[in-house]
Amino acid sequence: MAIIALEGMKFHAFHGVYEAERKIGTDYMVDVYVQTVIASAAATDQLEATINYESVFQICKVEMSQPRQLIESVLNGIFQRMKKQFPGMMALKVRVRKLNPP
């Protein structure tokens, strides 16, 4: 078992409770940690046998591009898409940081 991590994904997004946040937006950092079994991927050296980093990035990009009031809603969207895309993952940790909160 191993943890595959994508750290420091930066997005400009329009989440927030205040109108100015939804209008101007701000930068966010997203980190994703996926615990998964890697034996098959290590043995075959095939992308299909593991968690695809590009797919993880695209999931985060799509969810960050949909304006929401709460970061919790963004996190839930990422969790739901990740569970659907990678049903074999053992655990998932996602961190979303708003870099310039009002």
Asked if residue 38 lies in contact with residue 3, where contact means CB atoms within 8 angstroms, the answer is no
Query: Rounded to whole angstroms, how far apart are CA atoms 81 and 5?
Result: 17
Q: Which two tokens stand for residue 35?
A: 């615990």
Q: How far apart are CA 26 and CA 43, in angstroms?
A: 42
| Residue 84 annotated to the active site | no
Residue with the two structure tokens 């050296």: 45
**Residues designated catalytic:** 98
